[in-house]
Amino acid sequence: PAALRRPFSTLGRSPLRPSAGIAMAAIDALCMACNDETCDFKPMRFQRRPLGPEDVLIDLKFCGVCHSDLHTAANHMKDIGKGAEYPCVPGHELAGICVAVGEKVTKVKVGDQVGVGCLVDSCHDCAACKVGEEQKCAKRVGTYGGKDTTGRAASYPPGKMTMGGYASKMVVHERFAILIPPDYPLKFAGPVLCAGITMYDPLKRYGATKGTRVGVIGLGGLGVMGIKLAKALGCVVTAISRTKAKEHLATAAGAVNYVASADPASMTAGAGSLDLILNTIPAAHDWAAYQVLLAKGGKHVLLGVHSGLAAAIYAEKIRKLSFTSSTVVMSMIGGITNTQEVIDLCARDGIYPDIEVVLVQKLNEVYTALDASNDAGKRFVLDLEGSLNEETFNTCDAPPPKLAPNATGMTMPSILKELAKMVFLY
């Protein structure tokens, strides 16, 4: 019993399943956190909650860095009532090894490769949860910046917002643990649990299959992953970017057509050619300019975080009340069923996101690159096992990232303007 009460920081050497009735200790961990919207990340000591009966403890090896992490850490959504809580620990592309499980856990076993995506809890009982679409649950809890309501997503001490995957350890309810196939390299897994599901969910929802003409706007890490998944489903993929500078990147990922949106002739040539558009641009922009590319009955799905996406959320609610539909819709992430499905697909078909593995000491530089639009089209992945340790406190001395002013347009006047355009024109 004394061994079971020792700090969980030693569990990497001695995986276990706690016995019933034994009080478990909070779990010591390290993380990369920022204290304000300058996004100056530095190492910090903290604790995860004690392992519960349905919880899984993960020694994290890698965590991808998503553009949404930047939006949250830089407080880009404060003007719409979704301000960040500091210290902020982002990260919803977690990958590691299970080192302990609660007494009631059946899904995961010690030694499994395990990931955590964008969600760590939901109500489990609503219609959405019952069909594996937890992202639509009104009580869903994000992996970071979420508020626990059931104890299943509690921070430690309780009451704080959830803290994400830029950390050495994670405790998660087994329902939200994603099993990573044993032959799929962990360094690639995290981005699949965010970028992968973000692109896969609308592809599946709108019936993308062999011969479906899919356009992907924006060729950052999210867009490139979307091209690969659409190709794997048998779709005919068109990549869309401002200029032809990224045509080679798109072709390598599997696109067979290319539209340079700043070239009127290229846009005219592509008019009416797409059944489904996945728009990954992460800043406010004229999404309506791309409508000309849609075929009759097609859908334009907004995925990036900006005022248009927020407007589409409200537009969907209005249309449900009025029994109408639109060619412009939104999508954000996906539920646990589809998340497991997409990582299994990637493992089966050998689909790997384009990544660059970086030390946590480079995190501020990564944020600078993301804010500058990530022209390389890759996902950055933090090497947690190799660089997040006690020595990090002595080596993490990089200056804050260089960030441009907030370009999301996330203000209520901007959102209302976009909403009017969607409701009355599209």
Residue pLDDT, tens place only, 131-181? 999 999 999 999 999 999 899 999 999 999 999 999 999 999 999 999 999
Q: What is the mean pLDDT of residues 221-250?
A: 96
- Percentage of the chain surpassing pLDDT 90? 84
- CB 241, CB 219: distance < 8 Å: yes
Q: What Å distances lie between residue 390 and 45, 120, 369, 381, CA to CA?
A: 9, 27, 26, 20
CB within 8 Å of 221: residues ≥ 6 apart: 191, 195, 353, 354, 355, 374, 377, 378, 379, 380
pTM for the structure as a whole: 0.90
Would you say 301 and 331 are in contact if contact means Cβ atoms under 8 Å apart? yes
What pLDDT is recorded for position 17? 64
d(CA 102, CA 106): 9
Q: What is the pLDDT averaged over residues 387-392? A: 98
Q: Taking 70 as the threshold, does the pLDDT of residue 4 lie above it?
A: no
What tokens were used for 142? 């994000």
> Can you give the pLDDT at residue 425?
83
pLDDT tier, 414 (very low <50, low <70, confident <90, very high otherwise): very high
pLDDT higher than threshold 60 for residue 294: yes
Q: What is the pLDDT of residue 16?
A: 62
Provide φ and ψ at 25, rounded to 5°.
-85, 155
For residue 399, whether the previous peptide bond is cis, meaning omega lies within 30 degrees of 0, is no
Tell me the percentage of the chain whose pLDDT exceeds 70: 94
Band of pLDDT at residue 14, cut at 50, 70 and 90: very low
- For the chain, the average pLDDT equals 92
Tokens (6 digits) for 385: 């096992």
Has residue 423 got a pLDDT over 90?
Answer: no
- Strand ranges of the sheet holding 236-241, from the earlier edge strand across to the other edge: 257-260, 236-241, 213-217, 274-279, 294-302, 328-330
Evaluate if residue 249 carries a pLDDT over 90.
Answer: yes
Query: What pLDDT, on a 0 to 100 scale, did the predictor assign at position 146?
Result: 96
Is the pLDDT at 15 greater than 60, yes or no? no
The answer to whether the beta carbons of residues 4 and 22 sit under 8 Å apart is: yes
Residue 296 has pLDDT above 70, yes or no: yes
Taking residues 319-343, report their average pLDDT.
90
